[in-house]
Each structure stands twice: as structure tokens, then as C-alpha cells.
Amino acid sequence: MVPAGSFKIALIQMAMSPDPGRNLLTAVARVTEAAKAGAKVVCLPELFRSLYFAQQENADLFDLAEPIPGPSTEALKTVAKQHDVAVIVPVFERRAAGLYHNTAVTLDAGGEVAGMYRKMHIPDDPAYYEKFYFTPGDLGFRATDTKAGRIGTLICWDQWYPEGARLTALQGASVLFYPTAIGWHPKEKATHGASQRDAWRTIQRGHAIANGVYVAAANRVGLERPAGGGDGIEFWGSSFVADPFGVVIAEAPADTETILYADVDLARIEEVRRGWPFLRDRRVDAYQGINARFLEESALDRP
């Protein structure tokens, strides 16, 4: 049998203001608009409540964190209930004093919490000082059932790791959402900008192909300069949806706010996986080394 059914998804590509309250109002308005347009699952960008604060290390910025449930999930729960739409709500999560995560809560249509994911892979690069703020996730990789279908959520830096995509897809997700905050260092844009964005898109299209799933990345836009000065980051937008063959079926511009729509079609997943049946042939007997940090010994042992 071929499973029937499809559902519309929407990615909210936003520019953030310095005012968390205003960002929440914007998010509520955009999710509402997307739901009215027929979206059944809507994804907000990573840490949408604020400017990307991890451009600097400042303990005062933990004030931006909130518990779960908290103001962000409560506000979007109302939208989820009122408009019967599932919403992926990224939250700077305060779990306890001194314990914070970069989290995404999936609210199902109706408003109940369907699932929660804590960012597993935490970056730390100049202007992306996330290891200062976020404890690595301890919930593992997870697919979540919503009324629309089974979906997976990962966050930003996770997108560079085939393991995270694989583990979420193996749980039966039909689409992997990546709320994201990625951009250019203004000084690098001319030289490396095109290849950086292309690499970002390419590896995620690769996850779609390897797993026969849709991949949907929701990024922010706009130049954000940190309080203390500096060049800041030009967030590159370019939110996109790739189909299970890696074909980009929807794509947002680099510099403007957009709501990006696409359909997740279960019959298309079936078709692609029948045509190129990669899941059939995985060598699950031979992947143990994936759990190692590096395999220098096993290489050197060999004749």
C-alpha cells in the first residue's frame, strides 16, 4: 500500500528586534497567518525571542531564559489551540539555576506539548559562544507524533551531523525541522559567503537524500551587532525545504522576512524510498565505530 496524505508546513523566517516581547508578538502573528493559510505544522527560528545573544559571553544574558512551560510556550499554545496548528517553539530554556538549554518544544494542534528536544550538538566559535550558555541536550534525538504526522526537530549546529538526522529519521519522522540562527561574519562574506551557505544547504539536502525524508530549515535574517560593538553577524535567511530526494522545493530570500510553505507528501517519501531503497541495505552490523571519538588505533592496526 501507498500511504495517503500530505500536510502543509510553514517556516517563519524572521528578523529579531531587541525586544523579546515584540518578537513574541511577531511570532504569534506569523504563526497565526501561516495557520490561516493552511499550514498544519509551523516552525519558528532558533531562539526567536531575542537577538542572537551568544555573540558575546555575558552572564546577565541568562535573564533572557525562561522555564518550560513559560511565556513563549504559553503564548503559542493559545495560537495552537485557537488555530488548530502544531508549532515548533524554540526556547532559551532555564531548567534550573545555572542549567540552561537551547530547546525546541513541539506543541501539537490543540496546544498540548507533543514533544521536546534539547539541542545536542553545541557550537563554540567566534561570535557563536554557545558552549557558555547551553548545556548539551540530554533527551537524545527524537521524533514526535503530531496530529499532522510524525516529525523530528533538531537545532542549527545539529545540521552538520548526519547521525542526528539518521537517528531522528529512523524513528519514523517524515520531516526534519531545523530551527536555525546562522549567518555571515561581514568580513568573510565576500570571500567565503557563497560557499558557506552552499555547504549549509548541501549537507542538509544530503540528510534528506540519505534518509528519504523532507528537511526544513528555518533561519533568521538581518544584521545583528552585539551591545559592546563589533561587526556582528549578518544572518543569511535562505530558509528552505528539501524533498526526500534532496530537491529544494521551497526557498526564502537571504535578506527579507518570509513565511515559507511546502507540502510534506507521504506518497513522495514512499516513491523515493522504493526507487532508491537505502534503508534496506544499511550495514547495522558494522557501524559500531560511530560511537567512538576517533579511530586512529583501528587504522594503525591494519596491514
Q: State which of residues 1, 97, 190, 286 lies at the interface with a second copy (CB under 8 A).
A: 286
Sheet holding 183-184, edge to edge: 183-184, 233-236, 221-224
270 is catalytic: no
From CA 218, how far away is CA 224, in angstroms rounded? 17
Q: Determine which one of 8, 93, 156, 234 is catalytic.
A: 156
Q: What does each C-alpha distance from 172 to 71, 101, 115, 145, 212 come to in angstroms? A: 31, 25, 14, 9, 11
**210 binds a second copy, rule: CB under 8 A:** yes
Q: Determine which one of 46, 93, 130, 224 is catalytic.
A: 46
Q: φ, ψ for residue 95 (rounded to 5)? A: -90, -35
Yes or no: say if 218 and 252 are a contact pair by the CB < 8 Å rule.
no
**127 binds a second copy, rule: CB under 8 A:** no
Q: Determine which one of 119, 130, 224, 234 is catalytic.
A: 119
CB atoms within 10 A of CB 281: 6
**97 binds a second copy, rule: CB under 8 A:** no
Q: State which of residues 88, 167, 175, 233 lies at the interface with a second copy (CB under 8 A).
A: 167
119 is catalytic: yes
Which of the stretches 7-15, 29-37, 75-83, 207-215 binds a second copy when contact is defined by CB under 8 A? 207-215
**187 binds a second copy, rule: CB under 8 A:** no
Q: Which residues of 120-139 are buried (b: 16+ CB within 10 A; e: fewer)?
A: bbbbeeebbbbeebbbebee
Yes or no: say if 262 and 241 are a contact pair by the CB < 8 Å rule.
yes
Yes or no: say if 46 and 179 are a contact pair by the CB < 8 Å rule.
yes
**143 binds a second copy, rule: CB under 8 A:** yes
43 is catalytic: no
Positions marked catalytic: 46, 119, 156
Residues contributing to the site for a second copy (CB under 8 A): 115, 120-123, 125, 136, 140-145, 150, 157, 160-164, 166-167, 170-172, 195, 198-199, 202-203, 205-207, 209-210, 245-247, 275-279, 281-284, 286-296, 298-299, 302-303
